[in-house]
Amino acid sequence: MEDFEFHHTLPIQLRFNDVDKFGHVNNTVYFSFYDLGKTDYFTSVCPHVDWEKDGIVVVHIEVDFMSQIYGSDQIAVQTAVSEIGTKSFKLVQRVIDVNTKEVKCVCTSVMVAFDLTKHESKELEADWIEAICRYEGRDLRKKKG
């Protein structure tokens, strides 16, 4: 995975039920951290989206676990868009220890724009693409050819 500059960081409050009997966060819980991160990212970066008619759905997700998270750890999820196509984009996220900056796990996913009224994929809105590129500080559109 190439290095990313993460502009979006969301602190995560660990809950009692996130921790299993071994004292660490269960691997299935990480996906809820990533959901919180991407929800906050898009609420911040694209605040004018009508989420009643427009959606973003996960079509592929992959996670690499590097280190355990314990119930006493202070963590945050970082989110960045790495590439934008016509209907989809690639998202890179990671959970870090806020004190040590240690990367606990990394998630890459492919997200697709979705029309919630027609129940089908759709092209990404131009204003979404512009807002994301502006936020990330670079043109992320896939190069044709």
Asked if residue 24 belongs to a domain, the reply is yes
Please write the tens of the pLDDT for every residue from 62-87. 999 999 999 999 999 999 999 999 99
Asked if residue 64 belongs to a domain, the reply is yes
Percent of the chain whose pLDDT exceeds 70: 97
The DSSP annotation for 25-36 comes to: B-GGGHHHHHHH
pLDDT averaged over every residue in the chain: 92
Do residues 42 and 111 make contact, with C-beta atoms less than 8 angstroms apart? no
pLDDT class of 48 with cuts at 50, 70, 90? confident
Q: What is the per-residue pLDDT for 3?
A: 64
Asked if residue 143 belongs to a domain, the reply is no
Q: What is the per-residue pLDDT for 1?
A: 46
Q: What is the per-residue pLDDT for 124?
A: 94
Range of the domain at 68: 8-136
The number of angstroms, rounded, from the C-alpha of 72 to the middle of its chain's C-alpha atoms is 23
Residue 144 phi, psi dihedral angles, 5° rounding: -85, 145
Residue 49 maps to which CATH number? 3.10.129.10
Number of domains within the chain: 1
Q: Name which of 1-5, 56-60, 81-85, 97-101 the model is least confident about.
A: 1-5
Q: How many CB atoms lie within 10 A of CB 23?
A: 10
Do residues 86 and 8 make contact, with C-beta atoms less than 8 angstroms apart? no
The whole-angstrom separation of Cα 20 and Cα 17 is: 7
- The helix/strand/coil state of 107 is strand
The amino acid at 67: S
Is the pLDDT at 114 greater than 90? The verdict is yes
Asked if residue 66 belongs to a domain, the reply is yes
Closest to 85 (Cα-Cα) out of 60, 50, 53, 64: 60
Q: Is 83 exposed, middle or buried (0-12, 13-18, 19+ CB in 10 A)?
A: middle
Q: What is the per-residue pLDDT for 142?
A: 80
Asked if residue 16 belongs to a domain, the reply is yes
Asked if residue 131 belongs to a domain, the reply is yes
- The helix/strand/coil state of 86 is coil
Asked if residue 2 belongs to a domain, the reply is no
Asked if residue 1 belongs to a domain, the reply is no
| 77-106 mean pLDDT | 97
